[in-house]
Structure 1
Amino acid sequence: MKAMTFTSEFLSAAKQAPRIYFAPLVGAYKAIKAEMAKAGGGDRSAKIPPKH
C-alpha cells in the first residue's frame, strides 16, 4: 500500500470537509421530504379534479 504524504492527506481532507459540514442539513432535508411524502403532502395538483 502506498504511503500518503502530508500534502495528499491534507487535500483529501479538504475535499471531504464540505460534505461533512453539510451532512446534517442534507439529512434533515431528506427526512422532511420523506415525512411529507408519507403524510400525503406530495404533488397535490394532480389529485385535485378540475372544476367545470
Structure 2
Amino acid sequence: MKTTFFSEFLSAAKEAPRLYFAPLIGAARAIKAEFLRVEEESDGKAPLTPTAKH
C-alpha cells in the first residue's frame, strides 16, 4: 500500500492529541485508583474528624 504525505500528515494529526494528553489521562486514572483503594480500605471505619489549623 502506497502512503502519501497527506495520509501520513492526517495520521500524525490524529495521534498528536493522544500523545499530548497521555500523561494527564494517566494521572487521572492513578488518582481515581488511589481513591478507590482508600475507599475500600476504610470500609466500615468511622471517618476521621477534621482538625482546625489556625
Normalising to structure 1: TM-score of the pair?
0.72
Unaligned runs of 5+ in 1: 42-52
RMSD: 1.2
Unaligned runs of 5+ in 2: 41-54
Identity of aligned residues (%): 62
1:28 corresponding residue in structure 2: 27
Normalising to structure 2: TM-score of the pair?
0.69
How many residue pairs are counted as aligned between the two chains?
Answer: 40
More helix by share: 2
| Deviation beyond 6 Å, 4+ runs, structure 1 | none
